Structure 1
Amino acid sequence: MGAHGEDFSYLEAGGWQASLAYRWLHSDRHFIGGEEQKQRQAEGSEVINDVHTFDLTATYALTKRINLSLTLPFAHADRSSLYEHDRTNRHSMQAGGLGDVRLVGNVWLFNPDKHPNGNFGLGVGLKAPTGDYKATDIKYRASGPVVDYVDNSIQPGDGGWGVLLEAQGFQKVCKNTFAYLGAAYLINPENTNSIGNSVWDSYLLRTGLSYAVWPSKGIALSLGGRFEGVPSTDWFGESEGRRRPGYTVSIEPGITWSYRRTSFNVTAPVALEINRERNYQGRAGDAAFADYLILASVTYRF
């Protein structure tokens, strides 16, 4: 399924679709609640995360209405700080590899043949704990280097099974223009993993408009809003352990180019509001957030 020029196209029964999605973030702005801790950058004590993720997804359409998607995520992350080392000199710790694999089934609520210009779909799936949640690297302490776990923000996995709930929809509003909606919630019922990190829930909501500026060439522009984060308390289970709850509200411009069976998409969500929320006990804390993200994907239909 995807937008090609001025029309929306479903994945036909028996069809395959492969996609590679890339995500990059650079977080270095510290917040407590909605207040930025500007002194952290001024004094050079900010924590900097530089994270690259790659999601390889294969989708098979059982029917035009029902499909299954398997996603293999890979990541490479670098985290530099003072406080995790000797509190005087900046050092980096790194982690990477396979993340937590996801399998999701999706269904369109309305018959695609009767609703070519608008539909709404729901998805449910599983997240398996295939990623390393105990990755280690060297901390350069004043007493000498020691091997220790990297921060949970750059661990490839979280160590728990999860349930994925998804929703997506589109509606043609006028010539060459579609409204879109996408939402996802990850339920992680496990409390903590074996090294004391919280196995937290997460959420994402996207909505906006896509306009085919050059339909004959398959070029469309989009503009929407994006809301994503980690809650203070999980939907099911306990919420103990180390976590940094909070959310980001962003404006998300993008561009898509579709040519025959291939589609390329790039978006760059820019943060408008950031809030590092209190934890489940009501305690405040700080966390570093990114000003913007770079998201890119290529999709091919067989």
Structure 2
Amino acid sequence: MKKFYFFGLLSSLFTIQAYSQGCVPVRSTGSSVIERPSSSKKAQSPQWTFSATNRYFKSFRHFVGDVEQKQRLENGTEVINKSYTLDLNAVRYLNRRWAISMNVPLIANTRSSLYEHGNVDRHSTESYGMGDVRLTAYSWLLNPKKFKKGNIQAGLGVKLPTGNYKYDDYFYTGVSGVKVLGPVDQSIQPGDGGVGIITELNNFYSFNKRLSFYSNLLYLVNPRETNGVSTARGRTPSPASIIYGSDVMSVPDQYMARLGANVTFLKKFVFSGGARIDGIPAKDLVGGSNGFRRPGYIISAEPSLTFRTKKMSTFLTVPIAFERNRIQSVPDKVRSELTKSYYKGDAAFADYVVNLGVAFNLFKPVKKPAKTEPQIYRPYYNNSYRDSQCPKNRSNCQGRMMKL
């Protein structure tokens, strides 16, 4: 059986990535291209894989809970986030079982709104730079030599706070020409300011050369509760936001789950279809959950197409959202209790996300065995020996054999 790759995710496999879909800041979880164990003893495995994934979306549809606030579009008061990320990823295969991955996201975001600029005219804020770098180690839990049709892969890593989590830009105050400098909205900050623990669980099962199934689970634990960055857009925080605990930005956990099938056709094309959920919980597993966050989730259908060769793969994945839900945060609950009136904030979501990427496999050079020169003998023989017999059968040589 020929070798083929586990296309799942983070874009096909193939990629394991969670993505932001607007004001719910589900940040990139990377785009690791982790190769499936070879099903052939003769197949050569890559030593390195490098990938680059381009991701873009535009969020503008507001939801409170799972109810779309259509009046925002009708009134022209919607918030519009445009986000572009270039995920650079390197995977080092240590052996058939172990691999390590490093992901570096490069981010460019813009955010257009009315309410952040005095509710007079629409203006934009921007953010650029490197996001939070992720380092992850992966291991197949079952022996790849024995379990060729299916296996489970565990990942454990760390997210470093390399991205700027207090990026500043100018906000208009509503007074003609007057601007203030302050931190941009949480949804377009390149980083979150916390050291996180990455946990992953991925698996596949192949029915034959053409059909296989995959699933991916990822949970990012962020123990830090808040990062101290103001949510007042360069102004003085309101007394109410201080009371509710929404005056500073939270450092939330995030999660992702995927399930689907891969179909290989024409040998080099792989079509993947499945569903995924990306989200931010209202409460973290470790540490406190206070501070401003927009918890919620996005459930999407996820078609993808991959063209692959031995050394290169290109892939296109377009998750299409069919359910979006902005759930109640801890400050929302505090506000509801204090005011005796149920409150839930809103969030803007995208309709779809475009992921376009390429991956390159680098193979370790195969060392060819050194050529050995054949040994040539020169016989010394007496009169009873015939020349033609010695090279074929040395026992017939009556004289001595000397190696040249």
- TM-score, L = length of structure 1: 0.95
The one-letter code sitting in structure 2 at the alignment partner of 1:206 is R
In the TM superposition, residue 138 of structure 1 has moved relative to its aligned partner by 1.0
Aligned residues: 297
Residue of structure 1 equivalent to 2:225: 191
* Residue 15 of structure 1 pairs with residue 15 of structure 2: no
The one-letter code sitting in structure 2 at the alignment partner of 1:252 is E
Structure 1 counterpart SS, 2:228:
coil
The structure whose residues are more often helix, as a share, is 2
The answer (yes or no) to whether the contact 1:198–1:242 under 8 Å persists in 2 is yes
The answer (yes or no) to whether the contact 1:67–1:107 under 8 Å persists in 2 is yes
Structure 2 counterpart SS, 1:153:
helix
Residue of structure 1 equivalent to 2:74: 42
Residues in 2 aligned to 1:154 and 1:239: alpha-carbon distance in whole angstroms: 20
Answer with 1 or 2: which has the greater Rg: 2
The structure whose residues are more often strand, as a share, is 1
Residue among 109, 126, 133 paired with 1:77: 109
The one-letter code sitting in structure 1 at the alignment partner of 2:47 is G
Equivalent positions of 1:208-227 (< 5 A) are: 208-215=260-267, 218-227=268-277
Residue among 135, 145, 166 paired with 1:134: 166
* Residue 293 of structure 1 pairs with residue 353 of structure 2: yes
In the TM superposition, residue 115 of structure 1 has moved relative to its aligned partner by 2.2
Residues in 2 aligned to 1:193 and 1:267: alpha-carbon distance in whole angstroms: 33
Residues in 2 aligned to 1:77 and 1:87: alpha-carbon distance in whole angstroms: 21
In the TM superposition, residue 117 of structure 1 has moved relative to its aligned partner by 2.3
Q: Over aligned residue pairs, what C-alpha RMSD do you find?
A: 1.6
* Residue 157 of structure 1 pairs with residue 160 of structure 2: no
Residue of structure 2 equivalent to 1:32: 64
Pick which of 142-151 and 156-165 moved more: 142-151
1:249–1:158 CA distance, 2 compared to 1 (3 A): same
The answer (yes or no) to whether the contact 2:130–2:163 under 8 Å persists in 1 is yes
Residues in 1 aligned to 2:219 and 2:57: alpha-carbon distance in whole angstroms: 20
In the TM superposition, residue 175 of structure 1 has moved relative to its aligned partner by 4.2
- TM-score, L = length of structure 2: 0.71
Residue of structure 2 equivalent to 1:100: 132
The answer (yes or no) to whether the contact 1:14–1:63 under 8 Å persists in 2 is no
The answer (yes or no) to whether the contact 2:46–2:361 under 8 Å persists in 1 is no
Higher relative contact order, structure no. (Cα contacts within 8 Å, ≥ 6 residues apart):
1
* Residue 177 of structure 1 pairs with residue 211 of structure 2: yes
Q: Which runs of 5+ in 2 are unaligned?
A: 8-34, 39-43, 230-247, 334-342, 363-404
Structure 2 counterpart SS, 1:159:
coil
In the TM superposition, residue 292 of structure 1 has moved relative to its aligned partner by 0.7
Q: Which runs of 5+ in 1 are unaligned?
A: none
Residues in 1 aligned to 2:278 and 2:57: alpha-carbon distance in whole angstroms: 14
In the TM superposition, residue 260 of structure 1 has moved relative to its aligned partner by 2.2
The answer (yes or no) to whether the contact 2:151–2:204 under 8 Å persists in 1 is yes
In the TM superposition, residue 113 of structure 1 has moved relative to its aligned partner by 2.1
The answer (yes or no) to whether the contact 2:161–2:193 under 8 Å persists in 1 is yes
In the TM superposition, residue 13 of structure 1 has moved relative to its aligned partner by 6.8
Residues in 1 aligned to 2:46 and 2:352: alpha-carbon distance in whole angstroms: 38
